[in-house]
Amino acid sequence: MTRPAPPDRVPGKKKTADIKFRLLMLIAAMTLSINCATERSFTAPALPQRFGQAVSVGNLANPQINEASGMAPSRRYPSVLWVINDGGNDPMVFAVGIDGADLGTFRVDGARNYDWEALASFQLKNTAYLLIADVGDNWEQRETGSLYVVEEPSIIKTGLGDDTPVSIAWQIRFSYADGPRDCEAVAVDPARQRVLLLSKRSIPPVLYELPLQPVDDDTIAVAQPVTAVPYVNWPTAMDLSPDGLSALVLTYNNVYLFFRKPDEEWSNAFKKQPRRLNFIQLNQQEAACFGFYGKSVYLTSEKRPAPLVRIDLEESNKKP
């Protein structure tokens, strides 16, 4: 979505920025056409039968979810997913059932939704957390992005529709080592305590990483490039499986799975050809995640009504 210039835009360069913006929009339109053609022409390896069993399980029932831009599985409840709205909306996280049912809304105290584009969940020291990624940057002019980490709310304790406040456990302000990047795909690797970010508009996309916890409140972390990711274009979501051995990447045209060995770095795994899943194409699909057990994948759309699609990765096991 198009937004006003970010608050940290460099002053005194309005004319240059406007020219840059027009050029970026022209290049973006040409690039999108090329990228879509590239994705359509890319032939993935033959998939085992257990991959790509896609079913529509319902719509996101909560009417406040009007522009779903990120989704993550609960690390506390097997049948719960968490969803956020895109930029310009209130700083809320929404609990939904794996059938799309409304399970409650929670307001993140002290956070601003400038351009929330991704959501990740993880466990650290036996505590479940959500990481909200304010990383969207259509113009690629933001000096810094923000990652808000909150403890995963208790749904049973608060009940439905409470608009209950949740506090920020910690915040990471960061920049990219090689300049501003638009990003909509973020995941957390809790075993290595790293945040993974996959750039959207770079050709090919570039994987970056950050420490999961900040040095202090004043230090701006620097996301370092890890590797180019040659088989995807314009990624809109990313997630890691609970066992940490596979990565889900969503684009406007495809759903991919990357795999790694237990001792293999993501820098190597993302260079290998992924498997492509059969799925139900949605209108502007920008949110996807694994289920609680990692045996399925869920995706939804920014547009309403927002269908919730489940892809069963193991046909014999229907756990989420």
Tokens of 291: 């289920």
Task: Give the model's pLDDT for residue 158.
Answer: 67
The residue ranking higher by pLDDT, 25 or 93, is 93
Share of the chain above pLDDT 90, in %: 77
Task: Give the model's pLDDT for residue 10.
Answer: 34
Per residue in 224-282, pLDDT (tens digit) is 999 999 999 999 999 999 999 999 999 999 999 999 999 999 999 999 999 999 889 99
pLDDT surpassing 70 at residue 97: yes
Task: Give the model's pLDDT for residue 27.
Answer: 43
Separation between Cα atoms, residue 169 and residue 302, nearest integer Å: 27
How high does pLDDT run on average in the chain?
86
Separation between Cα atoms, residue 139 and residue 215, nearest integer Å: 28
Q: What are phi and psi of 10, to 5 degrees?
A: -65, 125
Tokens of 90: 């209130």
Task: Give the model's pLDDT for residue 47.
Answer: 39
Task: Give the model's pLDDT for residue 225.
Answer: 98
How is the chain classified by DSSP, letter by letter? ---PPPTTPPTT-HHHHHHHHHHHHHHHHHHHHHHHHHHHH--PPPPPTTS-EEEEEEE---TT-SSEEEEEE-SS-TTEEEEEE-TTS-SEEEEEETT--EEEEEEETT---SSEEEEEEEEETTEEEEEEEE---TTS--S-EEEEEEEPP-HHHH-TT--EEE-EEEEEEEEETTS---EEEEEEETTTTEEEEEESSSSS-EEEEEESS-SSSSPPEEEEEEEE-TT-SS--EEEE-TTSSEEEEE-SS-EEEEE--TT--HHHHTTSPPEE------TTEEEEEE-TTSSEEEEEESSSS-EEEEEESSTT----
Share of the chain above pLDDT 70, in %: 82
pTM for this one?
0.85
Closest CA to 248 of 260, 261, 264: 260
Would you place residue 30 in the very low, low, confident or very high pLDDT band (cuts 50, 70, 90)?
very low
Separation between Cα atoms, residue 285 and residue 132, nearest integer Å: 18
Per residue in 273-309, pLDDT (tens digit) is 999 998 899 999 999 999 999 999 999 999 999 999 9
Give the domain 14-312 fold.
Neuraminidase (2.120.10)
pLDDT surpassing 50 at residue 153: yes
Q: What is the CA radius of gyration of the chain?
A: 18
pLDDT surpassing 80 at residue 142: yes
Task: Give the model's pLDDT for residue 315.
Answer: 56
Which residues lie across from 262 on neighbouring strands? none
Tokens of 204: 């090919």
Residue 188 near residue 198 (C-beta atoms within 8 A): no
Separation between Cα atoms, residue 110 and residue 146, nearest integer Å: 12
Amino acid at 319: K
Residue 138 half-sphere exposure toward CB, CA atoms < 13 A: 17
Residue 282 near residue 231 (C-beta atoms within 8 A): no
Separation between Cα atoms, residue 30 and residue 25, nearest integer Å: 9
Residue 286 near residue 68 (C-beta atoms within 8 A): yes
Per residue in 174-206, pLDDT (tens digit) is 999 999 999 999 999 999 999 999 999 999 999
Which residue shows structure tokens 């994705």? 39
Task: Give the model's pLDDT for residue 9.
Answer: 36
Task: Give the model's pLDDT for residue 309.
Answer: 97
Per residue in 40-85, pLDDT (tens digit) is 333 444 433 336 789 999 999 999 999 999 999 999 999 999 999 9
Residue 75 near residue 121 (C-beta atoms within 8 A): yes
Task: Give the model's pLDDT for residue 40.
Answer: 37
Would you place residue 165 in the very low, low, confident or very high pLDDT band (cuts 50, 70, 90)?
very high
Separation between Cα atoms, residue 190 and residue 234, nearest integer Å: 25
Closest CA to 249 of 203, 302, 285, 209: 285
Domain assignments of the chain as residue spans, ordered by start: 14-312
Task: Give the model's pLDDT for residue 162.
Answer: 78
pLDDT surpassing 60 at residue 32: no
Question: Looking at 59-63, 127-131, 255-259, 312-316, which range is the least confident one?
Answer: 312-316
